[in-house]
Structure 1
Amino acid sequence: MSATVALILALAVGTYAFRLVGPVLHGRVELSARVRELLSAGALVLLVALLATGALTEGGGFAGWTRPGGVLVGGVLAWRRAPFVVVVLGAATATALLRAALPGSA
């Protein structure tokens, strides 16, 4: 067995075990309110970091102003609890309009 196959199998077993832990330990492990608060904050920070990297960078550099503008419009629509289709179409429309209005943005 090659090292690549062994690594893939190890990652598959680890992923399955990680997913199995939630249902198996549900109700058996009690987390304090502080730990739940920290886990919630950590998830939010991770989500914002992924959003920022995807919205602001492209190819290791700044993506320009059109993409963050579209993400901002989508974020506002999601915050206002618009349907998902409206959020996606609003973000795409805002990005397209910004690209048409700003010279040199692609």
Structure 2
Amino acid sequence: MWLAIIVAAVGCYALKLAGLSLPERVLHNPLVERVADFIPVALLAALVVVQVWSDGPSLTVDARTAGLAFAFVALLLRAPFLVVVIGAAVVAALIRLV
């Protein structure tokens, strides 16, 4: 197990070092900048999907889906972040209560 941890740590360090070693002309390429802007959004969306619809090895649709739907609509209506988070939690709790 320790070998796997050490290999993963060295791999992460090497990946970070490779990113820092890129020349400036590569980093300031418009395509690279555009792709780099979307990476955090894609990672966050993937985390949300995994947390909302996964239950072990299977997919589950439950109260979390209603909370996510509320959050989506609230964001479309440009609600403040706290309203989105608290509202989604309240909707999910009310669905679970019913």
TM-score bracket relative to the smaller structure = 0.5 to 0.7
Is residue 27–residue 33 contact of structure 2 (8 Å, CA) maintained in 1?
Answer: no
Task: Report the counterpart of residue 80 of structure 2 in structure 1.
Answer: 82
> 2:53 corresponds to which residue?
56
Report the TM-score when normalising by structure 1: 0.60
Gaps of 5+ in 1: 102-106
Q: Computing the radius of gyration over CA atoms, which structure comes out larger, 1 or 2?
A: 1
Q: Structure 1 stretch 92-101 or stretch 55-64: which is displaced more?
A: 55-64
Letter in 2 for 1:87: V
Work out whether residues 26 and 32 of structure 2, in 8 Å CA contact, stay in contact via their aligned partners in 1. no
**CA deviation after TM superposition for structure 1 residue 93, in Å:** 0.4
Distance in structure 2 (CA, Å) of the matches to 1:15 and 1:74: 34
TM-score (norm 2): 0.64
Q: Residue 5 of structure 2 aligns with which residue?
A: 8
Root-mean-square deviation (Å): 3.1
Q: Distance in 1 between matches of 2:40 and 2:23?
A: 19
Output the CA distance in 1 between the equivalents of 2:23 and 2:74: 34
1:28 to partner: Cα distance: 5.1
What is the alpha-carbon distance in structure 2 between the residues aligned to residue 95 and residue 26 of structure 1? 48
Taking a change above 3 Å as real, the CA distance of residues 5 and 61 of structure 1, as seen in their structure-2 partners, is closer
Among 34, 37, 40, the alignment partner of 1:37 is: 34
